Structure 1
């Protein structure tokens, strides 16, 4: 199947920012474009805005002058819905209201040709519900562009319950022909990006609510250790706290209030206070000319140990062995026990595993990094019972590796590790339920929200048991279902050739029981 011919007309209903962006994409792909808005003045303005953007592209040499002039002549405002009769594709970008959209599409059905595709750009409403009542729901689907549409490559092609596979394929091919990167997904709450991304915000807010760290520190750790472009507190201030919370609440409600998607009370209070982010001058952070920048906690310099013992295979943190040796720290390796780094003062440095330092005699946890060589900051956590020497040695060790160190509270799973584990779990569950393929989810998360690695690829890199084991431990310490590993994640271990029973076995984490467990049931929520 080929794309919609470029000789055919594409119509956009809704002349706001999103509608203008979609119109520009279709226009520069070679189509004649019509913009319709119930407010005819807005439709005319929308055409003008698109023409101005095309003109500026030509002025900057990003578009051939002749092509620009030809494109400017191919876009026009429609004064009435009936003017859209010739459109082969109509994309709606109006207010997020089910009744408004259903009314619009019912009217469009009376106008367009039988073979025309009807698409909604909704980011949160059910494509299946919007198609209810249509005479020909098979040609209806979702085309979710990301803002700004001319710049961001991702488009979610969403099939509703009644969408004809041929219609979905035609839309997919058309979006691809426009130079975008389409991903296929079923009509599930949040589609791909808004569903899978929830833990990126939720876990950061949870660490904050648990008094684990302040927003600036959490943001810095996720950027400088996790490899994310922005921290969740920064990003939600940019998006708008009201907008971000509304999406979270919509996904939560759509999944029948699953604990996996529970909204944040701290964010609710922020919205109630009117601190919505940059647009109101204050969100998690203050904004304006007199606002003081929020700085992350960074530990003071400590002396690095001259020698350490690496016990067992450090797994996702295995690169640390080479980094330690390159930094001049002598490393003695032993295959028995672990995995952990034995410090000179008899304390242990352990990769975050969903447990807490308070459970063990003298342990410092360190957080996951997307790339330990490239990371510029590492988070450490310790309990009140961790010796000062052990914490100082742990801080000094990572500082010797050229990393800034943030010491956070004794939060199980820390920051990056619990976030990545939850992203992996939601991805495994979505794939198992037919929401999207693992490849499309990875593509969507990298292109739609700039994740450094897709969740499925993260799972492959970290090992088939890593996320399951961490969430299993977290679920024991923070019961209620939020961190209970999905059945899909459990099965992935066996499908990868795991031995029977291995995945349910916690094993001896770092042989810490040898040092005398203080309280196996102690929780620090």
Structure 2
């Protein structure tokens, strides 16, 4: 199939932020756009606002004056719902209510031609359910844009059980023609983004609940080490806790109370209190006049250790690829590191574990594998054990999170802090929680993405594209798993499951298969 011809009329139902954004993109792509809303004045305002946006683009030399004038001329107010009769594609962007959407599409079936594609911009309602009572359910498809539509590249093209494959392909190709990055998805709860993103919020809330650190510190770790644009708490404050909590509840209920999607009591309390985030002036943080952003916790300056070594098992992979990146950072910043084979006896390390490790002043320093540092110290019979967190790019990260075993001496811990500080990191101490912050979050994001692929919701590339283009993740979760090592991700999840005794951290069957075969998600 091919994209809609530019001569085809596109109708948009609903002139709110989403509807107006869709109309703006479609008109700029060359289509005549019929915009309809039950409030005629809202349509006129939307068209005027879109014209202003086009003019701003002209001012920034991102659009020619002629193109802006032509695009504005293509925006037309529909004269009643019957005014969309000639449309080849109708995109609905109205209230998130199943009955209201069904009623609208039933009315549209009596107005538009039989070859007109009907698309819903729903973010959470089953496309199958919306189409179920239509005379021709095969022509209804999900076309889920992200807000703000002109700036966000992703479109989830969602097929219900009855959706004709050719209809989905036409919408997919049309999205490309409109300058978007579409991905195919099956109509399941949360589709791709709202499902796969749940662990980003959930693991942050768990870390806070377990007093790993305060919200501002966890946010800083996720930004400055994980590479995410916003930490989970500032992002939930931006979205609104009523909205974020409602989506989590919806996905949790739709999956019959799967513990992987369990909502947080902390967020429920915020909603109960009316602390909804930025829009109410208070969420995890305070907003408005006089409010100041809380500072993240960083360890005080410590002396650089006199001796540092790095040991790795010959032929090792997975964790060593990550720790080698840390080694490179140390060396680039002038930290002298002696290289040794794992298990080679020397005076500065007594660890019994054959895993990539740094050693300084008696401390053994490992990339977290999902165990607490305390448990790892007991397993190793090496009290002075410290674990460090994952970073998206150790060469560029400005912060790193670490945790010390309860048995670890103050002197050994201080030496580890001094080591990372000498390499230019701000060091954040987290309480000794399993998997720390970035690692456990990335492991859970990858696990959820793998499960979505395993269940035929989307492809591996589709999952990664959706999370990068839809919520601006620094790397697709499955590409991230490939980089860290699928075996490492599976090990972290297994250890998290053992630590908590919960099915929440069960490993996706597809992740297990990749682990067993040694294959990656992306060739």
Q: Say yes or no: does 1:322 pair with 2:328.
A: yes
Aligned counterpart for 1:471 among listed residues 480, 493, 502: 493
Mapping 1:300-311, distance limit 5 Å: 300-311=300-311
- Tell me the CA shift for residue 329 of structure 1: 2.3
- Tell me the CA shift for residue 111 of structure 1: 0.5
**Distance in 2 (alpha carbons) for counterparts of 1:350 and 1:437:** 33
- Tell me the CA shift for residue 470 of structure 1: 0.5
CA contact (8 A) 1:78 1:84 kept: yes
- Tell me the CA shift for residue 345 of structure 1: 3.3
Aligned counterpart for 1:490 among listed residues 512, 516, 520: 512
CA contact (8 A) 1:88 1:117 kept: yes
Question: 2:341 maps to which residue?
Answer: 334
Question: 2:259 maps to which residue?
Answer: 259
Any stretches of 5+ residues in structure 2 without a counterpart? 314-319, 344-352, 378-382
Question: 2:154 maps to which residue?
Answer: 154
- Tell me the CA shift for residue 89 of structure 1: 0.3
CA contact (8 A) 1:355 1:413 kept: yes
- Tell me the CA shift for residue 248 of structure 1: 1.2
Q: CA RMSD in A?
A: 1.4
CA contact (8 A) 2:305 2:361 kept: no
CA separation of 1:357 and 1:328: change in aligned 2, threshold 3 A: closer
Question: 1:379 maps to which residue?
Answer: 401
Question: 1:356 maps to which residue?
Answer: 372
**Distance in 2 (alpha carbons) for counterparts of 1:102 and 1:489:** 38
Question: 2:231 maps to which residue?
Answer: 231
SS in 2 for 1:492: helix
Map Cα deviations across residues 107-137 of structure 1 (whole Å, 9 max, x no partner).
Answer: 0011101110000001111111111100101
- Tell me the CA shift for residue 340 of structure 1: 4.3
Bigger mean CA deviation after superposition, 383-392 or 164-173? 383-392
**Distance in 2 (alpha carbons) for counterparts of 1:317 and 1:330:** 13
Question: 2:346 maps to which residue?
Answer: none
Mapping 1:2-401, distance limit 5 Å: 2-313=2-313, 314-326=320-332, 327-336=334-343, 337-359=353-375, 360=377, 361-401=383-423
Mapping 1:443-454, distance limit 5 Å: 443-454=465-476
TM-score, structure 2 length as denominator? 0.93
- Tell me the CA shift for residue 250 of structure 1: 1.0
CA contact (8 A) 2:98 2:130 kept: yes
Q: Say yes or no: does 1:405 pair with 2:427.
A: yes
**Distance in 2 (alpha carbons) for counterparts of 1:110 and 1:495:** 54
- Tell me the CA shift for residue 421 of structure 1: 0.4
**Distance in 2 (alpha carbons) for counterparts of 1:342 and 1:249:** 43
CA contact (8 A) 2:85 2:111 kept: yes
SS in 2 for 1:380: strand
SS in 1 for 2:354: coil
Any stretches of 5+ residues in structure 1 without a counterpart? 499-525
Map Cα deviations across residues 486-523 of structure 1 (whole Å, 9 max, x no partner).
Answer: 2221111123369xxxxxxxxxxxxxxxxxxxxxxxxx
- Tell me the CA shift for residue 449 of structure 1: 1.0
CA separation of 1:140 and 1:380: change in aligned 2, threshold 3 A: same
CA contact (8 A) 1:127 1:187 kept: yes
Count of aligned pairs between the two proteins: 498
SS in 2 for 1:87: coil
SS in 1 for 2:507: coil
**Distance in 2 (alpha carbons) for counterparts of 1:63 and 1:302:** 54
**Distance in 2 (alpha carbons) for counterparts of 1:418 and 1:251:** 21
Map Cα deviations across residues 233-257 of structure 1 (whole Å, 9 max, x no partner).
Answer: 1111111111111111111111111
Map Cα deviations across residues 235-287 of structure 1 (whole Å, 9 max, x no partner).
Answer: 11111111111111111111111111111111111111111111111111011
**Distance in 2 (alpha carbons) for counterparts of 1:462 and 1:366:** 14
- Tell me the CA shift for residue 189 of structure 1: 1.1
Question: 2:317 maps to which residue?
Answer: none
Q: Say yes or no: does 1:429 pair with 2:451.
A: yes
CA contact (8 A) 1:228 1:451 kept: yes
**Distance in 2 (alpha carbons) for counterparts of 1:365 and 1:318:** 15
CA contact (8 A) 1:242 1:276 kept: yes
- Tell me the CA shift for residue 341 of structure 1: 3.0
TM-score, structure 1 length as denominator? 0.92
**Distance in 2 (alpha carbons) for counterparts of 1:263 and 1:160:** 27
**Distance in 1 (alpha carbons) for counterparts of 2:361 and 2:53:** 64
CA contact (8 A) 1:260 1:483 kept: yes
SS in 1 for 2:88: strand
**Distance in 2 (alpha carbons) for counterparts of 1:426 and 1:129:** 24
Question: 1:460 maps to which residue?
Answer: 482
**Distance in 1 (alpha carbons) for counterparts of 2:411 and 2:359:** 9
**Distance in 2 (alpha carbons) for counterparts of 1:241 and 1:460:** 33
Runs of 4+ in 1 over 4 A off after TM superposition: none
CA separation of 1:58 and 1:322: change in aligned 2, threshold 3 A: closer
- Tell me the CA shift for residue 343 of structure 1: 3.0
Map Cα deviations across residues 80-125 of structure 1 (whole Å, 9 max, x no partner).
Answer: 1111110000000000000100000000011101110000001111
